[in-house]
Every structure is written in structure tokens, then in C-alpha cells.
Chain A
Amino acid sequence: MLRAGGWACITDPDLGVKQADTFTCVHCQKVTHVRAGASPYELGGHCRLCDALICKECVGKECTPFMKQVEEAEERAFRMMNYGSV
């Protein structure tokens, strides 16, 4: 996989070492293992707004980058902690 988002390895005493590239969904952070020869449609999709790969569950849904969700959650938590309300 070109520019893989990660690498996974299963070490099995019978099957040996099984390796796979992975990518992390830019919307929900789910890690998807990329099997060699798998259909791209089975693995997920590509968000044109984020210009990054997304998982199968996020295909067809609204673009909500995970970092944006993190910032919103942190902002809510900050307001709750300091002002007592969101």
C-alpha cells in the first residue's frame, strides 16, 4: 500500500508471521487492515474534503474530521470545567 498508515503483524507458531498494512480512518480513527488484493470498496473510501482514507462505516456519511471532533470535545470540557456550562 502506498503511504500506509500503519503496519500490523500476527505471529502465529503454525502460520508464521502475517503482516498487513493498515490505515486509520480520518473521520473516526478506526484502523483498517489492508489485505493484499482486497477490493478497495471493501476497505472503505476516500474523503475528498479531508483528502484522506476513511473506513467502510464512514463511507457515505458527512465529513467530520476526527481532529475537529477532538477540538470540539475539548472545548466543551473546558467550558464545563471553567464556566459550569457548555
Chain B
Amino acid sequence: MARYSVSNGSSGTMQANTTTYKTQISLTAATGGTTLRRGWVYDLNVGADGTPADNAMVYKVDRQTTVGTATTITAAPLDAADAAALLVSSANHTAEPTVTASTQLLEVAVNQRASYRWVAAPGSELIVPATNVAGLGLRSKSPAYTGTVTAQWQFYE
């Protein structure tokens, strides 16, 4: 299985955080019937990249059923010999995707000056079903911080 990395710093304009969740990166199954494939997210990093201050940040990963409006990112293969990813990576959403309620798979509150990383052991990855435009989104919000967030994850398909 080929492994890929996606970051919201790759392309597009990072969106400012608000008091409501802002999707930083998302990973969805392809829209075509012949390119549907499952994906497994196994490593993610996230942190605020604005001027350091003591504010609360909340990051979460949950499921979504649409892509929303975002910049399409070309996932970088960790092995340059691998083909392009079939899963669709998007970042810096200007219109939020449709989030499936009560599907917070990973949710953590940290200080704005802190960064968070999660790595899955084999067999415990977050799965993207091979269902048209269904997928996962990494989102952030803050009651006071209005800067941007750097989010990156790695997946395989």
C-alpha cells in the first residue's frame, strides 16, 4: 500500500480560526465508481502557527459526507515511485463540508502554544470508507485565537 502526506500549507490560503469549527484538511473517497478506494489515516500533526499566546484550541477529527469548498491538494507519496493517490485530499476549506453528527473520532483541547501529534499502531488507523465523497476531516476552533493552524496527516490507501 502506498503512503502519502498532506498538509494545509501545500496549497491554498489558510483560513482563520473562529469560535466554530474550521476544516483544515480533509480526506475523501473519490467521486468516480472506478477509483473508489479505502484509506487509512495513521499519523497526524496539528498546531497553531500564529503569534504565541495563551488561548485554548480544540482540534478534532470526524466524519463527513461531502467535500465542501476547498483547495484540492496533491498528496505527496512518501515513496516517489508510487502512483498518485486516488483518495481526494482537500485543505483550507472556505465552505464547511457536511459533518456527520456525533462522529468525533479524535478530539483534544490544548493550549494555542502547544502542538499535538497522534500516531496509530497497525490496525488502529482511522478508516476512510470507499464510499463516494465520504471521508474524514481535521478541524479546529478557538474561543479567542483568530490566526491560522498548520495541519498535516499521513495516510495509506
Contact = CB atoms under 8 A, between A and B. Distances in A.
Contacts of A6: 118-121, 124
Contact of A22 (B33, B38, B118): B118
A77 B131 contact: yes
Interface size of B as a range? 20 to 34
Contact of B114 (A4, A11, A22, A70): A11
A77 B110 CA distance: 37
Interface in B39-71: 52, 61
Contact of A74 (B116, B126, B130): B130
B113 A10 contact: no
Given A7-B118, A31-B106, A81-B33, A66 B127 contact: yes
A5 B119 CA distance: 9
Q: Which 3 A-B pairs have the closest CB atoms?
A: A5-B124, A24-B124, A12-B114
